Amino acid sequence: MKVHWKIKYCKRIKNNGFVLKTIINCIATNDSKTQAVTTFYSKYDYKGQDFVPFNKLENMDILNWLFDKVERYKIESETANKCDKIQSEIDNPQFSYSIPE
């Protein structure tokens, strides 16, 4: 199982680059290419905050902001478990979907 984090979106103030909002996904992918995603929406307060100019930000800076707020490894584990559950439902379906003739 591979688990990685991907920044999907950053909303920032145009004139100074302060990031106001981010959307970040935790993505688990198994060997069968089945995926599960957990999405986080974070807002940041502009008032009185020191910040790194947007052109100097790196992905890890933004991810670390999230990791300071959430339990990273618990989320990675839960997302991997979701992926396992999805794969189990694919491999052992409990329902069949069809339309009567």
For position 9, what pLDDT does the model report?
93
For position 49, what pLDDT does the model report?
61
Residue with the two structure tokens 């959307």: 23
pLDDT tens digits for 42-86?
988 766 566 777 888 899 999 998 999 999 999 999 999 999 999
Q: Where are the domains of the chain?
A: 2-91
pLDDT tens digits for 3-34?
999 999 999 988 888 888 999 999 999 999 99
List Cβ<8 Å contacts ≥24 apart for 84-89.
Answer: 84/1, 84/30, 85/36, 86/34, 86/35, 86/36, 87/30, 87/32, 87/34
